[in-house]
Structure 1
């Protein structure tokens, strides 16, 4: 774990905050991970641990950065973990509205650096996220990038230009 982690972190910006999220069922299966966590913390890596309550709570607590109560989280079961993950990914929040923007605002979303949005998409800025996104128009779903907007299947319809997959139709 240590070698892989340091290899990944080696490519990060020097002034960037280094953070690791350790998500586990609470039982380590490859030896004691605490010395590895301690070495990473000594290098300035901030470690958050998230585990299931029935696991090795002491181990999770020991690996987390200080203050422990802000870096070590325990959940009672996998359903609670899923709810927490959805919250962290903002999947349980309303998406907010989107403001139409010039297509050039979305030019950084693809390798070509221009014309990133699909012909059935437009460049919009999310009022909750502040992010520019290519959003498929009404009646279409997908990622919004070139060739990634698809018409909703017969019998379904997406009433507004919002992000999302087939389930939005």
Structure 2
């Protein structure tokens, strides 16, 4: 037993010696150095892993309205390689939120700097995996910021039937999302107006040094909904939730309403209706049972028998109306209890 205890003490001393040797190497025994190493290690352990674009990973999708959607992305010299990767992750996240398909949402990407490169067209990819693989292959062009030229290329080369855009007769929504971090080196006002005039809805996303006035010149109205600004590329991924709400088919009635009887979806809003036999009150929310109006026709001859008959008829109608109100109120209460109201 004594020999075993000595062996354990000896092993512990060896372990302690190894630890001290590690920290004494090149003067690391300095308490300040040890504290610095400990702090750096704790920061490293707490830091979340960097996200990379994984084409095979698919998040839950929303029920989006079919779109012809074109991303116009700035890859000028001011956008660092790591920042450009974050833009690509944002695009891939956006693809995940959409109902992609030949009859659903079609996606194209226009890459620009001093020149413009159509990375792929609306007709090229009809599933999420292929789209995200194509996005992962996009490379920065790294010179200049010809935003106006990029908008023109999108309008004339991607939003066309030859490139996969649906015919005007189908009244398909056409949306362009521009992402830029600088000031355009060419004019954007006229070409953006022409694009909007052709039926393209434009969202302008500005990052860091983006020129706010230029963003407003590019975007559709209302500007408060179509101009978006984030301070860094590090948070651009958070915009996915905003565009999810904007581009997805939101069901306002399912999200909650204050209609007493029936909620009817109307674009991004709703209105209330009443069940048969009720009328909508002035507050446009609650309903009131229609009253049976009994009209008594005065008899000019004042015949007692006819007057008596009219009074009996009026009393009977009033009694039926009262019973009807009671029955309908009972039905409404039962429906409310059952969750049908």
TM-score normalized by structure 2? 0.24
Higher helix share: 2
Structure with bigger gyration radius: 2
Higher strand share: 1
TM-score normalized by structure 1? 0.47
